[in-house]
Amino acid sequence: MTFSIVARDSQSGWLGMATASKALAAGATGQCMKLGVGVIASQAFANRYLAIDGLRLVEDGLPPERVVERVIASDAGRDLRQVGVVDHEGRVAAYTGGKCIPWAGHLMGPGYVCLGNILVSEGVVKAMASAFERSRGEPLYERLMLALEAGQEAGGDRRGRQGAGIQVLAGEEYALCDLRVDDHANPVSELRRVLEVFRTEQLPYAMAAPRRDDFTPQWDAVLQVRDIIERDLDEKQAAQAAKES
């Protein structure tokens, strides 16, 4: 009931996923991702354990094709499932059950899988793949956003629109980018707006965020930002007090 992409950027090594659907909080369900391991999407009549268990198998060293075989074999409802896997080396595999509501299917390319069900047509995943491949050199969050926009432009989910999300791991165990639109008439367009806010308000501080090997990178810069915030608050408080006096 969704169109999604899971991917590894070959230039940066970043891992990410993006999804859109006529479903509430689509960006918060059915995906698992871990630094140095890979990313998995489970959708259609989703069994979230396919992603949870599949990621453990990837971490154990199984290649994506074997991971898909194992998790699908364990699920009696496999005919209603979709799974897409990308590991930390960029190897890929996918599965679409024969009873998923059409159009349903997947398209795999170097380091990515596009998959969807209840779509207007196969053109949705083809448009996503084309947009992702054309955007080489852009940050992964932008490449994923372009893929979602292309999928929506090609018709998207034939039931309508509701939720969307993007998540990217960029060298740390926590997400660099984790953005969602849970309930909106035009979730992909709204996600683009939120992504631009992320670029302006959050991304500039990413280099100063704690890292596993250094909890205080660019500490002097962090202290400068702290002082600017406090000064701005003091000025606002003084202005408010003057207004009320």
What is residue 40's predicted lDDT score, i.e. its pLDDT? 97
What is residue 221's predicted lDDT score, i.e. its pLDDT? 87
Q: Residue range 1-8: average pLDDT?
A: 93
What is residue 29's predicted lDDT score, i.e. its pLDDT? 84
CATH class held by domain 2-206 = alpha beta
The residue ranges of every structural domain in the chain are 2-206, 210-245
Mean pLDDT in the chain?
A: 96
What is residue 76's predicted lDDT score, i.e. its pLDDT? 98
CA distance 104 to 120: 9
Query: Could you give the angle at the alpha carbon of 140 between the alpha carbons of 111 and 17, nearest 5°?
Result: 65
Contact 87, 56 (CB under 8 A): no
What is residue 207's predicted lDDT score, i.e. its pLDDT? 83
- Res 232 pLDDT > 70: yes
Quote the pTM value: 0.94
How confident is the model over 77-131, as pLDDT tens digits?
999 999 999 999 999 999 999 999 999 999 999 999 999 999 999 999 999 999 9
Higher pLDDT pick, 207 / 133:
133
Of the pLDDT bands very low, low, confident and very high (cuts 50, 70, 90), residue 1 is low
- Res 18 pLDDT > 80: yes
